[in-house]
A and B are shown apart, each in its own frame.
Chain A
Amino acid sequence: MLRDAVVEPVIELRGVEKHYQMGDTLVKALHGIDLKILPGDYISILGPSGCGKSTMLNILGCLDQPTLGQYFLGGQDVSELSDDDLSQVRGKRLGFIFQSYNLIQQLTVVENIEVPLYYQGVSEKDSRELAVELAHKVGLGKRLDHRPTELSGGQQQRVAIARSLANDPPVILADEATGNLDSKSGGDILEIFDELNADGKTLILITHDEGMAMRTSRTIRLKDGEVAYDSYTEGQLV
């Protein structure tokens, strides 16, 4: 419609299916997902456990390939990309935030933030400067040389956010980013997300928290591997 006419979607899924062969039975984690995500969208994905949220996010994050259907990222069919290209896409155009933070334990805060820069071949000096700047931005300016084990969950998640921003990707994917946090630290994280969206980033957040869903501008509910509700198309239908 109007939105479609003006902007190209950053992400488009066309009939995406994901099947898992478990012994004799075929598990259809996703079947027939059609979805358009526009630049600047602020999306929460909800749904009961096992409905395929993480599966979908892994596909969106180019960590996994759909069994059927097509995934266009910025107009590019992802299934045509080589393994190296996929790595490149993940490093450059996508930012990941995980429920369990997934920081590298041997590395300090700054070094963790530098990891995505390292794989993009950013020079030592630039990379350090940028990592320090990002650490300040998420409020960890005083913790630069701490190890993940010396940080609280909320602080670790903020390091992960800083890390996801390192290469300035247009799209950020978060799988239950506040799932392990108390409401105070979770609230801090959500505030950062709000700011990022205000800066123009596309955010796709998986959550169980209805309150979090209220903050986002678009809500998608999955059920049994299908889109059961999308506030955007719902709105269109009205």
Chain B
Amino acid sequence: MNALTLIREFSLFRLKQSVILGVKSLWMHKLRSILTAMGIVFGVCSVIAMLAIGEGASYEAQQQIKDLGSQNIILESVKPTSKTAGGDQQRSTILEYGLTYKDISQIRATVPGVEVTIPSRDVKDFIWNEERNVDGAAVGTVPWFPEMRNRKVLEGRFFSELEMSMRAPVCVLSKSLARELFPLSEPIGDTVRIHTSYLRVIGVIDDDPAVAAANEESEGSGEKGDGMEMMIPISTLEDHFGEVLIKYRSGSFEAEKVELHDVTIRIDDPDRVMSASLAIRHILERNHKQVDYRMTVPLDLLRRAERTKQIFNIVLGSIAAISLLVGGIGIMNIMLATVTERTREIGIRRALGAKKKDIVIQFLIETVMLSGAGGLIGVALGLAIPITITHFANMVTIIEFWAPALAFTISVVTGVLFGIYPAFRAAGMNPVEALRHE
């Protein structure tokens, strides 16, 4: 029997009759039908819920990485964590570490497509507004910092090229710092002090998304991790604080010399980011004996996040496939039992003029209704779970429009696949023997 004629001969009325009949016979064994459909319910529901949670998590991760700028490579100086640093005899000596201007000029000279670099330097010290102070950092940087780093200026403005060349004593506060120092008043136009320098506040910029994220994960482990920073023209910074920074901390003092705290390199061609990052890593490895720098390649992180997501999806897909397989086997099992149970009915129908295909269709419709109903309930639950999670656990969950549709389709397809064998078995019965069946 071929599928086309099967469909053509099957009028809407007969479909309706088959559906009514299916409902009736499923209803006769309510508990059994419900338990059978349950396999599909949980399969479909877990697929949708896990997809939504997974999408949400990876969206958040990717968003954080994208906020760093996917064409950027970020270099930072880090204090080497080793025996050479720290210790009693080190107290009075000056610790020299980190990225140097030499590194940057080599990078600019040898790596093609390096569009802009943002040299920046941090000075860590207390920042004052009259009596209030916050342990923070002054970041010396360039006027195009906000657009390079995808940071939004929330109030006022960022400093200009002119201010940079004039070495103007101006600063732009991060949101957190502004909130700490000026809890009640408007910061713009006011003055803050760091060490002995007074700087005029001209704007407020949003917090570093990476720092904000790190803060969320582990509370206050990083030293500058608070995001308590202000941006000032790098020229101004060099004027006010020489090359050596001395920090007084509870009686003792630490002296550090760092040429460049922070550099962002932008690669003009998105396709060359990875190769450029390799070249830069090579240069830095050659120049630095100890690892006193950190290199962050947002694109690499993004790729890794995507790969993680792919693995997650494969795992998810396998779980879904297994649960649907189990559900499908459950359905097949029950349908085989149903076919045996209704052998006599099949014989009667055959005697009354039912063709084999009529019997096939009747049982297939029943299976599909069973799995379809399971699928619908599964979709409903699968939508409810992420919504509940978002509501109560404040986690981002994303329900892709295709996910419920796909899960439902798969449940129906499962029904058809696992219903085919029982249906054909029913249709293949010898009418005489079927009629004699008790």
Q: Using known A-B contacts A98-B435, A102-B344, A124-B13, determine if residue A92 contacts B24 with beta carbons closer than 8 Å.
A: no
Residues of B within 8 A of A49 (CB): none
Query: Nearest-CB distance from A103 to chain B (Å)?
Result: 8
| A63 and B356 form a contact (CB under 8 A) | no
B350 adjacent to A87 (CB under 8 Å): yes
- Report A-chain residues with C-beta under 8 Å of the C-beta of B354: 87, 91, 119
Q: Give every chain B residue within 8 A of A201 (Cβ-Cβ).
A: none
Q: Is B25 part of the contact surface with A, judged by Cβ < 8 Å?
A: yes
B353-376 CB contact bits vs A (8 Å, 1 = yes)? 111111000000000000000000
**Chain B residues whose C-beta falls within 8 Å of the C-beta of A104 in the assembled complex:** 345, 348-349
Residue of B nearest to A121 (CB): B11
Chain B: number of interface residues, binned into ranges: 20 to 34
Task: Report which of B21, B353, B432 forms a contact with A120, defined as CB distance below 8 A.
Answer: B353
For residues 415 through 438 of chain B, which have their beta carbon under 8 Å from a beta carbon of chain A? 431-432, 435
Query: What does the 1/0 interface line of A101-117 toward B look like (CB < 8 Å)?
Result: 01111110000000110
Which residues of B are found within 8 Å of A107, using beta-carbon distances? 21, 24
Contacts of A92 in B (CB 8 A): 353
Residues of the A chain whose Cβ atoms lie less than 8 Å from the Cβ of B349: 104, 115, 119
Whether A87 pairs with B24 at a CB distance below 8 angstroms is no
Contacts A106-B21, A106-B25, A124-B13 known; A116 to B352 CB distance under 8 Å? yes
Against A, the Cβ 8 Å flags (1 = close, 0 = not) of B1-28 are 1000000010101101100010011001
Task: With A83-B356, A118-B14, A121-B11 as known contacts, state yes or no: A102 contacts B435, CB within 8 Å.
Answer: yes
Give the docked Cα–Cα distance between A106 and B357 (Å): 21
How far is it, in angstroms, between the C-alpha of A99 and the C-alpha of B177 when the chains are bound?
A: 94
How far apart sit A167 and B352, CA to CA, in the bound complex (Å)? 10
Given A87-B354, A115-B349, A106 contacting B24 (CB threshold 8 A): yes
A residues in contact with B1, CB < 8 Å = 84
CA of A115 to CA of B28 in the docked complex: distance in angstroms? Answer: 19
Across the interface, B355 reaches (CB within 8 A) one of A84, A105, A167, namely: A84
In the complex with contacts A98-B435, A102-B348, A119-B356 CB distance below 8 A? no
List residues of chain B with CB within 8 A of the CB of A91: 352-354
Q: Which residues of B contact A42 (CB under 8 A)?
A: none
Q: Which residues of B are at the interface with A, using a C-beta cutoff of 8 A?
A: 1, 9, 11, 13-14, 16-17, 21, 24-25, 28, 344-345, 347-358, 431-432, 435
Q: Write the residues of chain A forming the contact surface with B, with a CB cutoff of 8 angstroms.
A: 58, 61, 63-64, 83-84, 87-88, 90-92, 96, 98, 102-107, 115-116, 118-121, 123-124, 163, 167
